[in-house]
């Protein structure tokens, strides 16, 4: 799958967007024949699974018919002839909206291989788009049944039913999760996609706050709202909001993104997603509806801001602070190399190394000058050689923003002009700084109507890089990045600035975020239908990369939403000193562990499939 093309560079920048696959290496507990009363969850394939009548009785109480989620490529397997829906699937396979859309019966994950089940012996249950691979279309990791919740009451009914029958539950919003946390084999789905309410508040008083507490220009988003919809509502007021950045802006604005932290190019100016929340509403596993904020149930409010999605209950809405808009500068750069004698596998091209090493060296300077955003290293389609894309923004009022970036462009141009042939030619294909009216113009121009960076097969690894490390040893950082042996790398300034000035204990988010400047992400890709051996080789690269960054940042952290399934000591890596309190809040609000996700709070009490308590 040609995910990233040179010609569409600027559309494809951030590739936290690139996707990922859940390929469980664990034996499915389906075969173990658990009962619903023991220490295991009841699964679809077992006798304990509720009967048709029981589901019918549930359905009769709900506002919508039950869902029967299907694999997205199903239409390509239903007839010998190409049908319209299959053509649509082929055309929109890498479209984040299509993948999360209601027309797809809730069966989509943003990353197709999350939908595929790989048994430990390599046996595959999936539904591949490419039918000539010869696999039948099977349910794989897509839950067979679910509830299309439209109200608090629907959520309560779904939760009560799941708890009463001890079902394995998954909560899915858009299905963007990079660790497969929004899908599970033989589970019961609670789908929040249609919780689309949006309410703008000129003034907002959190529930239970003392009289006189007033926030202005806040917005309450139902947990099914996606960033494009949220941006539209906020931009219409001439304001901005800290949100996810992706082609098409299809990431959920009030689901997993914010519960995991929520990074953005705007975070260095206005804090992370979690730092902008005023109130949340949620239904917990006992069926209770809570309105939580700094004044009411502050511990649950704290946990929901960084403690991770799918762990505390079903979030119904999130209220955010918005911010005034002001003019910005937008920097774009694309640099590519051509080195026919260099092995694309190692891609160690001196000019490219020099360029990237300089970028790392000046990253603290650029950040201090007001720049934030995304640098990606990607392989070119034809040669596989790396190219670099930079997409940064800064407040137009930042006095040294323009000059610091121009210095970097000049450095790049000088490298390009003076590179010796044996070092590989470097081309600066684009280097510009535009003046824009504000963040809205930047978001609309670069990301709207775009697709890509979903619908591919990959896994992530990542690490938060402290500012201190970048300052004290930039060459070690550059060497670690360039030594990954993984063609897709993101090097993002989404921390520092306002992210660093927040009291680390005010939210559950990993305190490591407060010292960080860079979120580095890397992700190998593989072809649809790849063997388990191929996938495991890709995973080994991820593990090796993570080990390299761990060595550079001992005791450091990683971003819960964009991490690997192989984090060593995930509790420390995702939450540091906040883990113990999170465990306690989890025990208080979800004592039956109805909501458990891979590498989530409390998941260590469960087996690798999260179906049986250890
Ligand atoms: C294309 C793309 C771009 C991205 N860009 C960014 C970015 O700019 N910044 C950033 O920080 N991250 C980004 N991410 C990562 C993103 O934060 C995660 O994928 C996140 O999990 C998405 O949340 P979701 O609700 O949309 O997805 P889902 O996969 O539906 O849900 C993610 C997790 O949250 C849980 N969850 C969802 N809704 C609820 C709810 N209402 N109540 C309780 N639990 C819930 C799910 O159970 C699951 O565990 C991006 C991902 C992709 C694929
Ligand atoms: C999403 O679904 C709606 C109706 O369910 C449809 O109108 C819309 O065109 C779909 N969009 C995409 C991108 O598939
Ligand atoms: C589909 O799979 C076949 C068999 O592996 C392969 O030859 C073909 O190139 C694939 N098609 C696409 C579009 O990937
Ligand atoms: C707060 O305001 C409400 C409504 O105006 C009033 O009923 C209440 O007594 C006030 N509480 C305090 C502590 O002043
Ligand atoms: C930089 O890091 C490398 C690799 O960890 C290490 O060998 C070197 O001593 C460090 N240099 C400095 C100046 O800290």
* Residue 341: per-residue pLDDT: 59
Token pair for residue 431? 């280097």
Q: Assess whether the C-beta atom of 182 lies below 6 angstroms from ligand 1.
A: yes
142 CA distance to ligand 2 middle (Å): 20
Q: Assess whether the C-beta atom of 101 lies below 6 angstroms from ligand 2.
A: yes
99 CA distance to ligand 2 middle (Å): 10
- Compute the distance between CA of residue 509 and CA of residue 267 in angstroms, rounded to an integer: 14
Tens digits of residue pLDDT in 571-587: 999 999 999 999 999 99
439 CA distance to ligand 3 middle (Å): 41
132 CA distance to ligand 4 middle (Å): 69
Polymer length in residues for the chain: 614
Return the ligand number nearest the Cα of 187: 1
- Compute the distance between CA of residue 227 and CA of residue 233 in angstroms, rounded to an integer: 10
Residues in a beta bridge with 389: 334, 376
Index of the ligand 5 atom closest to the CA of residue 551: 5
* Residue 7: per-residue pLDDT: 29
210 CA distance to ligand 5 middle (Å): 52
Q: How many H helices and E strands in the chain?
A: 18, 21
Which of 251, 313, 513 to mutate for ligand 1's pocket (most ligand atoms within 8 Å of CB)? Answer: 251
Index of the ligand 3 atom closest to the CA of residue 1: 14
Low-confidence ranges of the chain (pLDDT < 50): 1-36
Index of the ligand 3 atom closest to the CA of residue 130: 1
Index of the ligand 2 atom closest to the CA of residue 102: 5
* Residue 103: per-residue pLDDT: 80
Considering the domain 329-436, what is its CATH architecture?
A: 2-Layer Sandwich (3.30)
**The dihedral of CA 10, 13, 17, 19: what is its sign?**
positive
Token pair for residue 551? 């060595």
Token pair for residue 314? 């079903």
Domains of the chain, residue spans: 3-191, 329-436
Return the ligand number nearest the Cα of 553: 5
- Compute the distance between CA of residue 345 and CA of residue 106 in angstroms, rounded to an integer: 39
Return the ligand number nearest the Cα of 548: 5
Q: Assess whether the C-beta atom of 531 lies below 6 angstroms from ligand 2.
A: no
Q: Assess whether the C-beta atom of 375 lies below 6 angstroms from ligand 1.
A: no
Task: Write phi, then psi, for 155 (nearest 5 degrees).
Answer: -65, -45
Among 58, 55, 36, CA closest to 45: 36
* Residue 105: per-residue pLDDT: 84
Tens digits of residue pLDDT in 279-320: 999 999 999 999 999 999 999 999 999 999 999 999 999 999
552 CA distance to ligand 5 middle (Å): 9
Q: Assess whether the C-beta atom of 1 lies below 6 angstroms from ligand 5.
A: no
CA distances from 123 to 25, 460, 530, 564 (A): 11, 23, 11, 23
Give all strands (DSSP E) within 60-144, no chain letters. 117-118, 124-125
Q: Do residues 115 and 183 touch, judged by C-beta distance below 8 A?
A: yes
98 CA distance to ligand 2 middle (Å): 7
- Compute the distance between CA of residue 574 and CA of residue 509 in angstroms, rounded to an integer: 8
Q: Is 359 left (phi over 0), alpha (psi -120 to 50) or beta?
A: alpha
| Alpha helices by DSSP H, 129-171 | 152-164
Index of the ligand 5 atom closest to the CA of residue 479: 4
130 CA distance to ligand 3 middle (Å): 6
* Residue 14: per-residue pLDDT: 31
Among 329, 463, 341, 476, CA closest to 404: 329
Q: Which residues contact 317 (CB under 8 A, 6 or more apart)?
A: 195, 197, 220, 221, 222, 223, 254, 280, 281
Token pair for residue 271? 């804090």
Count the neighbouring beta carbons within 10 Å of the beta carbon of residue 348.
Answer: 15
* Residue 102: per-residue pLDDT: 80
Q: Assess whether the C-beta atom of 476 lies below 6 angstroms from ligand 5.
A: yes
- Compute the distance between CA of residue 521 and CA of residue 540 in angstroms, rounded to an integer: 15
């Amino acid at each position: 799958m040609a995910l990233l093309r040179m010609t569409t560079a600027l559309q494809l920048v951030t590739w936290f967007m690139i996707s990922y696959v859940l390929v469980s290496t664990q034996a499915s507990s389906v075969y173990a024949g658990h009962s619903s009363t023991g220490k295991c969850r009841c699964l679809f394939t077992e006798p304990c699974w509720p009967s048709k009548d029981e589901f019918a009785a549930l359905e009769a109480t709900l506002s919508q018919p039950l869902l029967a989620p299907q694999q997205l490529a199903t239409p390509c397997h239903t007839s010998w002839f190409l049908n319209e829906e299959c053509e649509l699937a082929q055309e929109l396979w890498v479209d984040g909206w299509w993948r999360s859309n209601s027309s797809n019966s809730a069966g989509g994950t943003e990353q197709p291989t999350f939908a595929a089940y790989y048994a430990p012996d390599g046996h595959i249950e999936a539904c591949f788009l490419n039918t000539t691979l010869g696999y039948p279309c099977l349910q794989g990791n897509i839950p067979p049944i679910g509830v299309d919740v439209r109200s608090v009451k629907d959520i309560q009914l779904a939760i009560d039913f799941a708890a009463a029958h001890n079902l394995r539950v998954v909560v899915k919003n858009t299905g963007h999760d990079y660790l497969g946390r929004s899908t599970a084999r033989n589970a019961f789905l609670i789908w929040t996609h249609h919780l689309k309410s949006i309410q703008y508040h000129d003034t907002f008083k959190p529930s239970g706050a003392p009289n006189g507490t007033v926030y202005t220009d806040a917005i309450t988003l139902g947990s099914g709202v996606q960033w494009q919809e949220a941006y539209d509502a906020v931009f219409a007021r001439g304001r901005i909001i800290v949100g996810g950045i992706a082609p098409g802006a299809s990431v959920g604005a009030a689901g997993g993104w914010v519960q995991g932290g929520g990074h953005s190019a705007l975070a260095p100016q206005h804090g992370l997603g979690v730092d902008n929340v005023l109130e949340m509403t949620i239904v917990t596993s006992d069926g209770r509806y809570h309105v939580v904020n700094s004044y009411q149930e502050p511990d649950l409010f704290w946990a929901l801001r960084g403690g991770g999605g799918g762990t505390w209950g079903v979030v119904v809405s999130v209220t955010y602070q918005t911010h005034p808009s002001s003019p910005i500068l937008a920097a774009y750069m694309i640099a590519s190399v051509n080195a026919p004698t260099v092995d694309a596998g190692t891609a160690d091209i001196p000019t490219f190394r020099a360029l990237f090493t300089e970028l790392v060296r000046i990253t603290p300077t650029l950040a201090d000058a007001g720049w934030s955003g995304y640098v990606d290293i990607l392989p070119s389609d034809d040669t596989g050689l790396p190219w670099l894309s930079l997409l940064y923004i800064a407040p137009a009022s930042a006095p040294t923003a323009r000059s610091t970036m121009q210095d970097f462009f000049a450095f790049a141009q000088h490298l390009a002009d003076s590179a010796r042939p044996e070092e590989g030619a470097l081309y600066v294909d684009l280097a510009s700084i535009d003046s824009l009216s504000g963040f809205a113009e930047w978001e609309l121009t670069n990301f709207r109507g775009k697709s890509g960076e979903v619908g591919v097969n990959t896994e992530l690894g990542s690490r938060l890089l402290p500012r201190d490390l970048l300052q004290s040893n930039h060459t070690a950082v550059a060497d670690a990045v360039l030594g990954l042996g993984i063609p897709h790398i993101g090097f993002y300034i989404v921390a520092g600035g306002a992210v660093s000035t927040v009291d680390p204990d005010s939210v559950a988010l990993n305190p490591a975020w407060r010292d960080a400047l860079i979120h580095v992400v890397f992700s190998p890709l593989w072809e649809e239908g790849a063997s388990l051996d191929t996938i495991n080789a890709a995973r080994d690269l991820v593990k090796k990369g993570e080990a390299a960054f761990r060595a550079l940042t001992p005791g450091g952290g990683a971003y819960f939403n964009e991490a690997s399934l192989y984090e060593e000591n995930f509790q420390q890596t995702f939450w540091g000193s906040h883990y113990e309190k999170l465990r306690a809040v989890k025990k208080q609000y979800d004592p039956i562990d109805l909501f458990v996700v891979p590498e989530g709070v409390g998941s260590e009490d469960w087996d690798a499939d999260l179906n049986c308590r250890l």
